[in-house]
Chain A
């Protein structure tokens, strides 16, 4: 079992762990933001490159399964982390604090997430979750002089701890009911004891725990506070990687134990509530980060539609959706990071009034991101939503499909509000800083821009890729 090939299969995770340690040592030798920053980016790239050496589907001691899905998501997470790394530099370079440790936390959190997407066992899942969460506590409250960051950190910590406890309790109950902690083992057992009360109760608690991480209604209330309190790069991380990885585990879990009819109903309820309430909450929101938080609630609701649709189509849809959503969210928070002026983020929509007239490129990127989030053609978000709808229609989830449509129109309202704000002519002179570290960020924006459009116009390649990956997993 434990043979030579396992090492390459886990290369990315190993590289990330080593990088975190090396990073620590680097800081101990000399604090240099640029060096640490570059090192982080390089190690993320290295980890990404090592993905190519993975030989094929393989299980690791029942704890991990390195399949197509896992590899794809690991790649996605690494790329996303890479972008977040880029955005972190201008953001923190203006800060007076020690900023180098942030990159250790970033590497660790990425490690946790990349472990989670290949977790096939509750122990490994729990471990990766905690690596992710504990790093996130630090990342959220990183600007320790800021009251809001600290507040966000405390809130996230308390809620995450409670939800961890709930999750653990649920896992425990499932363990008691089945005697298994591996997903495949539980799946085998679940077939025989599907109606066991303890098992179902445990599953319900696990659902609540995962729902918290995914910020699904009714476990969503932390999202806006944490997003708006945390540094923008961290918000990006919470919005993208942390949710994406948990979503993958959710998928694996239910693929193993099967989608019980009652569970489907619960998911339908959660999805409907998330889509509607998420969008309703954002409707009049004036704070861009909170708005994005609410929007992310709704987007996870859309993802759950794909989840309920299930099957290859559902997974295809979900993965594509995640890609599109990651790109959009990254761009949005990246822009917020970029426009941050000496640690002061531009939070309110009115701070962005007339961005177009000063920095047209940024305004166009942000508009495109908003349109992508709204699922308008020409953008990746459209294909994502189209895919999810396709999955929904295919599995005849008419209620979900209709709610998706209606809520996405509610959503469109506030996305357009943002866009209109960008293009309205300012009453007074506005000033948007030009960050001195614009080149890498600019390149990142350009890449995101191209990706948004390219995936929106010619998604054929990625779709084929995803389909192959998914079939590889089943293969």
Chain B
């Protein structure tokens, strides 16, 4: 099933390229089919608490002589992220259905879009570290092309900057993976990139620290966290709308996923040493990001920085090493993906109507687009963390969790709630309120656009009122992660806990 999902995406991408006239339909079909597949496995799993085994697992030979295999496996957490990826991917296809910016070479656009979705999906499935890295980098290529071919004015600079940052940081992770592989091989004689195998590696504290640093560098850049966010505003602003949504909504989440799935379980001891610094980075990110967002005069940049600010919550949540915070982080991953996609889609729709994203050119749009304004309001409110919407539960749990361990930092981070409100209201008020800057009769939301936004709105409310589904689905993962915070547990024992809970059934 997992390979099916990937194959459908990759083959669908090729088909889009070959049959450009039908690319929108092919893309819809491919992603939609996958979505159905994924939901059909995820939904039941969210009902019942799982016993720590994978829901689906597949393994094929890849580079047997190196101990690398195509090992794909998903649990509730990965499946959740996959469902999310496919959902936003599908909506991304729909929102750019009539987008003039991608009218040229549309088939090729959908090829990249589908491969991007495929890469992200692969990241959430890979249980072989080399394969993980492979998908990790694979995501970059279509993203790079999406930006550099269909991007905005500054697309060249933006795409290259994005690629350089993520590539450099990724290489550090590769080094860490290789070192782990070799160390494990030298200790046990078994050279393997397999996640379950490598979990048991015992490392000296300093070595574990270096390796963790390698992993974290990749994740913090991709997320991005302070001070590695320099690529973000350019890449987010310049990419086409569907790309921006996937970039901000999902690609950043792969980093959070990587931390939860790989960085923390692989180096539980070192994580404790890193946690205070990471928390500091997270909190600085929250506040600094909010400050930058507030200062922007371009709507897309503003949203980009708001995303950066929210990523600070994720860093804070992960490294507070608390159960509540883990749940919060996962919810934030989902909720933020939805809300930021909604905001970027919104910018895309506005851009199609007024051909720019400068805030000074906007104002009073409520008069001509009350429906769009209403929908925009939902996402603005999600962004500022209004209860009832998914982001609130997530941020509440993150902060409540972080508070258990770090009162001071949490209080500082909570200031981000105020700051978040300040910049979020700018979106609503500068765009839809105020004096009418230009007449846009008949500019209100179109049916297809409405469908897309309605899906997001429904999901974000669903998350706000029924987060239990998600909490239940990721429960085993959170339970695993919880062990990390149990410092009393000796290293070896802790490893066994992970190994037992994540070791797969025999293949």
Contacts and interface: CB of A to CB of B under 8 A. Distances in A.
Report if A and B touch in the complex (beta carbons < 8 A): yes
A131 B159 CA distance: 46
Contact of A419 (B148, B164, B182): B148
B159 A420 contact: yes
A399 interface: no
A191 interface: no
Interface in B145-162: 145, 148-149, 155-156, 159-160
B168 A409 contact: yes
B167 interface: yes
Contact of B182 (A371, A394, A420, A463): A394
Contacts of A464: 64-65
Nearest to A459: B63
A420 B148 contact: yes
**Counting chain A CB atoms within 10 Å of each CB, which of B63, B156, B182 scores highest?**
B63
A377 B156 CA distance: 21
Nearest to A390: B178
Interface stretch (B135-143, B283-291, B441-449, B472-480): B135-143
B61 interface: yes
A2 to B, nearest CB: 38
Interface string A378-394: 10001000100110011
A405 B175 contact: yes
Nearest to B159: A420
Nearest to B115: A378
Contact of B138 (A357, A377, A424, A459): A377
B144 interface: yes
A199 B134 CA distance: 46
A88 interface: no
Interface string A432-475: 00000000000000000000000000111001100100000000
Interface in A52-91: none
B138 A409 contact: no
Contacts of B172: 405
A467 B65 contact: yes
A356 B174 CA distance: 32
B62 interface: yes
Contacts of B61: 460
A393 B175 contact: yes
A33 interface: no
A409 B167 contact: yes
Nearest to B135: A377
A423 B137 contact: no
Nearest to A402: B175
Nearest to A416: B160
A371 B137 CA distance: 11
A463 B164 CA distance: 29
* Chain A interface residue number, banded: 20 to 34
B461 interface: no
A112 B69 CA distance: 40
Contacts of B178: 386, 389-390, 393-394
B364 to A, nearest CB: 35
A386 B174 contact: yes
Contact of B164 (A356, A393, A405, A412): A412
Interface string A336-380: 000000000000000000001100100000000001001011100
A254 B63 CA distance: 29
Contacts, number: 83
A378 B138 contact: yes
Contacts of A401: 175
B145 A417 contact: no
B108 interface: yes
A275 to B, nearest CB: 13
A376 B141 contact: yes
Contacts of A357: 105
A235 interface: no
A39 interface: no
Contacts of B144: 416, 419
Interface in B165-207: 167-168, 171-172, 174-175, 178-179, 181-182
B171 A408 contact: yes
A380 to B, nearest CB: 13
B507 interface: no
B163 interface: yes
B66 interface: yes
B243 to A, nearest CB: 14
Contacts of A382: 134, 137
A389 B175 CA distance: 7
Contacts of A406: 168
A404 to B, nearest CB: 8
Contacts of A390: 66, 178, 181-182
Nearest to A414: B160
A412 B181 CA distance: 26
Contacts of A386: 130, 174, 178
Contacts of B66: 390, 463
Nearest to A408: B171
**Counting chain A CB atoms within 10 Å of each CB, which of B62, B141, B164, B181 scores highest?**
B141
Given A394-B182, A401-B175, A405-B168, A377 B65 contact: no
Contacts of A416: 144, 159-160, 163-164
Nearest to B210: A398
A376 B167 contact: yes
A463 to B, nearest CB: 6
A459 B181 CA distance: 18
A378 B134 CA distance: 8
A413 B164 contact: yes
A393 B168 contact: no
Nearest to B133: A377
Contacts of B63: 459-460, 463
B377 to A, nearest CB: 37
Interface string A16-47: 00000000000000000000000000000000
Given A393-B182, A405-B171, A412-B163, A463 B156 contact: no
A440 B339 CA distance: 52
A467 B160 CA distance: 36
A424 B156 contact: yes
B175 to A, nearest CB: 6
Contacts of B134: 377, 382
Given A360-B108, A376-B141, A377-B134, A413 B171 contact: no
A458 B62 contact: yes
A459 B179 CA distance: 21
Contacts of B155: 420
A401 B133 CA distance: 17
Contact of A412 (B130, B148, B167): B167
Contact of A460 (B62, B133, B164, B168): B62
Contact of B160 (A371, A377, A378, A413): A413
A371 B142 CA distance: 12
Contacts of A389: 171, 174-175, 178
A303 B64 CA distance: 24
Contacts of B171: 389, 405, 408-409
A324 to B, nearest CB: 14
Interface in A194-218: none
Given A376-B167, A377-B133, 19 more contacts: A360-B105, A371-B141, A374-B167, A378-B138, A382-B137, A389-B171, A389-B178, A393-B178, A393-B179, A393-B182, A394-B182, A405-B175, A409-B168, A413-B164, A420-B156, A423-B149, A424-B148, A424-B156, A463-B66
Interface of B: 61-66, 105, 108, 130, 133-134, 137-138, 140-141, 144-145, 148-149, 155-156, 159-160, 163-164, 167-168, 171-172, 174-175, 178-179, 181-182
29 contacts: A356-B149, A371-B141, A376-B167, A377-B138, A377-B141, A378-B138, A382-B137, A386-B174, A389-B171, A389-B174, A390-B182, A393-B175, A393-B182, A405-B168, A405-B175, A409-B168, A412-B167, A417-B160, A420-B155, A420-B156, A420-B159, A420-B160, A424-B156, A459-B63, A460-B61, A460-B62, A463-B66, A464-B64, A464-B65
Closest 9 pairs between A and B when the two form their complex, measured CB to CB: A377-B137, A409-B168, A405-B171, A393-B178, A460-B63, A416-B160, A420-B156, A423-B149, A420-B148
